[in-house]
Amino acid sequence: MRFFNTTFGITDRIWRCFFPILIFALIGCQDQMGTISGPTMGTTFQVKIVQSDIALDDMDVLIREINARLKEVNRQMSTYQHNSEIAQFNRSPSTDWFAVSSDFAYVLHIAREISTWSDGAFDVTIGPLVNLWGFGPNAIPERVPSPDSIATRKTLVGYKKIHIDLSASAIKKESPEIYCDLSAIAKGYGVDRIASYLDSLGINRYFIEIGGELRTKGHNPLGQLWRIGIASPAGQGELQKALALNNMSMATSGDYHNYFERDGIRYSHTIDPRTGRPITHALASVTVLHKSCAYADGLATAINVMGPEKGFAFAEKHNLAVFMIVRQGDGFVEKMTSDFEKMVRGEK
pLDDT in tens, 225-253: 998 888 887 766 678 888 899 899 999 98
Residue 122 near residue 111 (C-beta atoms within 8 A): yes
Residue 336 half-sphere exposure toward CB, CA atoms < 13 A: 16
Find, among 309, 310, 312, the residue nearest to 323 by Cα. 312
The pairing of strands 43-50 and 98-99 is: unpaired
Hey, how many other C-beta atoms are within 10 angstroms of the C-beta on 92? 14
Percent of the chain whose pLDDT exceeds 70: 82
pLDDT, position 267: 56
pLDDT tens digit sequence for 152-163? 999 999 999 999
Q: Is residue 171 part of a domain?
A: yes
pLDDT, position 8: 24
Which residues in the chain come in under a pLDDT of 70?
Answer: 1-31, 53, 55-57, 136-142, 235-237, 255-268, 347-348
- Residue by residue, DSSP assigns 165-193 as ETTTTEEEESSTT-----HHHHHHHHHHH
Q: Is residue 317 part of a domain?
A: no
pLDDT, position 256: 55
Alpha carbon 171 to chain centroid, angstroms: 22
Q: Is residue 98 part of a domain?
A: yes
Q: Is residue 119 part of a domain?
A: yes
**In the chain, how many domains are there?**
1
* Amino acid at position 150, single letter: I
Alpha-carbon span 140 to 135, nearest angstrom: 7
Q: What is the largest CA-CA distance in the chain?
A: 60
Q: Is residue 205 part of a domain?
A: no
Hey, how many other C-beta atoms are within 10 angstroms of the C-beta on 132? 22
The answer for residues whose C-beta is within 8 angstroms of residue 217's C-beta and 6 or more apart is 195, 198, 199, 204, 205, 206, 247
Supply the CATH number for residue 137's domain: 1.10.3980.10
Q: Is residue 204 part of a domain?
A: no
pLDDT, position 281: 82
pLDDT tens digit sequence for 272-323? 889 888 888 889 889 999 999 999 999 999 999 999 999 999 999 999 999 9
Element spanning 150, H or E: helix 147-154
pLDDT, position 282: 85
Q: In terms of residue numbers, what domain contains 155?
A: 92-179
Find, among 280, 277, 260, 303, the residue nearest to 130 by Cα. 277
Residue 214 near residue 249 (C-beta atoms within 8 A): yes
Q: Is residue 80 part of a domain?
A: no
Q: Is residue 195 part of a domain?
A: no
